[in-house]
Amino acid sequence: MFVSILRQGDFLIASIHTALDDTELLRFQEDLVTQIGTSRAQGIVIDVAALDVLDSFASSALRDLAQMARLRGAATVIVGIQPDVAFAIVRLGMELDIHTALGLEEGLAYLESVTSGNRAGGSALGALRGVDR
């Protein structure tokens, strides 16, 4: 398993466990965007802590994924960027233009601050619709 997508309340946590090739990255995009609708997620955390390199295609794919998620109504935060990856992104002039956080807890806190969702579930939106989460 290269990627896992888990639900945490009103959010999805997508952990990338190993470097993905271009085809796998595109499949990851499709799977995650589909899961946003299926789970009615209000935000996604993308955990890249296992990656020790992020090339231009991968950074572009993550940026596109964040835009797709926004169009589906979900905020995005990337967590776990390793120091070497951060240095490379800056030195190569790549721009992610995605909110980042140090770790999972900070990422979930950010999503709670910018959406009406929460990590425990049962958001105001769900309560208004009578949805039991």
Cα(47)–Cα(107) distance, rounded to whole angstroms? 9
pLDDT of residue 122: 59
Q: Is the pLDDT of residue 126 over 70?
A: no
Angle between helix 22-39 and helix 56-71 axes, rounded to 10 deg: 20
Domain CATH for 118:
3.30.750.24
Q: Is the pLDDT of residue 118 over 80?
A: yes
CB-based contacts of 55: which residues, under 8 Å, 6+ apart? none
Count of residues making up the chain? 133
pTM of the model: 0.88
**4-30 tens-digit pLDDT:** 999 999 999 999 999 999 999 999 999
Q: Which domain holds residue 83?
A: 3-129
Q: Is the pLDDT of residue 125 over 50?
A: no
Domain count, the chain: 1
Cα(81)–Cα(83) distance, rounded to whole angstroms? 7
